[in-house]
Chains A and B, each alone.
Chain A
Amino acid sequence: MGEILSVSNLIKRYGEKTALNGVNCRFEQGKIYGLLGPNAAGKTTFLKVCAALIMIYQGQVLIDGVRPGLATKAKVAYLPDGDYFFDWMRVADAVNYFSDFFADFDRAKAEHLLHELELEKSSPVRSLSKGMKARLKLAVVLSRRARLFLLDEAFDGVDPVTREKIIDIMLNTFDQESTMILATHHIDYVEGLLDEVKLLHRGEVIREIAADEIRQNSGQSIGEYYLEVFRNEKAT
């Protein structure tokens, strides 16, 4: 399996504040990664750099050997934290918009996902509940046949049924050709999904470890390992 994303000494500052403080890590094709860390660890900033939404930074980021930009946007699908659609849109408009924008958008899959997630095409996005908006975001993003999926807090504000549906869809979407990076603090939801975990703390990757290695070495779940690492971090 090849390397799909490599990050070397990535630094991003906002004036006095340092969001990413020299991130070094690599991601391989065909795996599901968890990017875990507390709020303000830099997860969103990291994903935005990879998604070519933040273009000013120091260090090197390469997606299939190319710097994030227009070319990579065509094969990177980004699910943002927060609102994603225009107020005037209905569900069908959101799908059309995505379809227009992205060559790799799979309409048939989108139809299927809308149905699975019980989204009505004629519903105004404005009128959707938080959970339904989350479902719609997922539906359009996962309908892309992307090489790299960057999902920022896909489970926030989502009820248990929606959560299960989302996990099922992720498992179905995922294949050896693609890679998923899930930034989340809902570690318990993704225990069974993750191949590898990267812990981000104050803008740096402090741990990179395979999920099974955590379980094998210390008989812990990923969640327990996370707590252990971050409790120690706070102590220092």
Chain B
Amino acid sequence: MRYNDREPIYQQIMSEIKAQIAFGKLTPGMQLPTIKEQAAIMRVNPNTVTRVYALLEQERIITKQKGLGTFVSTGEHLARKLREEIAESATSRFVSELLRLGFSPAEILKHLQHFLARAKGDQGTC
């Protein structure tokens, strides 16, 4: 996983794991790597992973079962909830950026509609 050095790394890893669950790469009940394994995979400080797992556990996205390991929480709504969160967050970033640059809500909506119409059109020709 490539991460950028400017945002807290633990947040980036959390986003990554949430995205993996949201889009089915990690499924409910699936076992996660141990903290050490995860740290090696992501090439980050194990303390960072410890923090990530603790926070994800707090949010009930993952569950630690003593002696067995750490697992993605079960519950069909989890993936959907995370997808919503990701969309919300991306939309927020997109809209905030354009508002900051001085675009009006009406202009933003227009640009978005045009973009989506073109994207749909492209899909049709593929």
The residues of A with any CB-CB pair to B shorter than 8 Å are 30-32, 167-168, 171-172, 174-175, 188, 191-195, 211-212, 215-216, 219-224
**Interface size (B, Cβ < 8 Å)?**
18
Taking the closest CB of chain B, its distance from the CB of A119, in whole angstroms, is: 21
Q: Which residue numbers of B lie inside 8 Å of A, CB to CB?
A: 3-10, 36, 39-40, 42-48
Q: How many A-B residue pairs have CB under 8 A?
A: 56
Across the interface, which residues of B come within 8 angstroms of A219, CB to CB?
Answer: 6-7
Contacts of B3 in A (CB 8 A): 192
Complex CA gap A206/B44 in Å reads: 26
From B4, B6, B9, B43, contact of A171 by CB (8 A): B43
A220, B7: Cα distance in complex, Å: 7
Known: A32-B45, A192-B43. A212 touches B9 (CB 8 A): yes
* Chain B residues within an 8 Å CB radius of A32: 45, 47
A215 touches B6 (CB 8 A): yes
Residues B47 and A222 in contact, CB atoms below 8 Å apart = no
Contact A212 B43, CB 8 Å, known A191-B5, A223-B5: no
In the complex, chain A residues whose CB is within 8 Å of the CB of B39: 171
Determine the chain A residues whose CB is within 8 A of the CB of B48 once the complex forms: 192, 195
Q: In chain A, what residue has the closest Cβ to B46?
A: A174
Please measure, in the bound complex, the distance between the C-alpha atom of A32 and the C-alpha atom of B47, giving whole angstroms.
9
Given known A-B contacts A32-B47, A192-B3, A192-B45, A168 and B9 have beta carbons under 8 A apart:
no
Residues of B within 8 Å of A215, CB to CB, are: 5-9
Distance in Å: Cβ of B16 to nearest Cβ of chain A: 13
Contacts of B8 in A (CB 8 A): 212, 215-216
A30 to B9 alpha-carbon distance, docked (Å)? 18
Q: How far apart are the CA atoms of A216 and B11 in the complex, in Å?
A: 10
Bound form: Cα–Cα A222–B47 in Å? 17
- Tell me the bound Cα distance from A48 to B46 in angstroms: 27
Nearest Cβ on chain A to B6's Cβ, whole angstroms: 5
List 10 A-B pairs, minimum CB-CB distance, nearest first. A221-B5, A212-B8, A192-B44, A215-B8, A191-B5, A219-B6, A216-B8, A193-B45, A195-B47, A221-B6
Q: What CA separation (Å) do A172 and B40 show in the bound complex?
A: 7
CA–CA, A158 and B55, complex, Å: 36
Question: Which residue of A30, A174, A192, A220 contacts B6 across the interface (Cβ within 8 Å)?
Answer: A220
Give Cα A192 to B8, complex, Å.
Answer: 10
Q: Which chain A residues border B6 with CB–CB below 8 Å?
A: 215, 219-221, 224
Establish whether residues B40 and A192, one from each chain, have CB atoms under 8 Å apart when the complex forms.
no
Q: Could you tell me if A195 and B9 are in contact, using CB atoms closer than 8 angstroms?
A: no
Q: Which residues of A contact B44 (CB under 8 A)?
A: 171, 192-193
CA A211 to CA B11, docked complex, whole Å: 13
- Which residues of chain B have C-beta atoms less than 8 A from A174's C-beta? 45-46
Decide: A168 and B40 in contact? CB cutoff 8 A: yes
Given A171-B40, A172-B36, 5 new contacts (CB under 8 A): A31-B47, A192-B3, A192-B5, A212-B10, A219-B7
- The residue in B5, B9, B10, B42 that gathers the most chain A C-beta atoms within 10 A of its C-beta is B5
Q: How far is the CB of B39 from chain A (nearest CB, A)?
A: 6
A167 to B46, CA, bound (A): 12
Closest to A213 in B: B8
Pick from A195, A220, A221, A223: contact of B45, CB under 8 Å: A195
* Contact of A192 with B9 in the complex, beta carbons under 8 Å: yes
Q: Which of A31, A168, A171, A174 has the most CB of B within 10 A?
A: A171
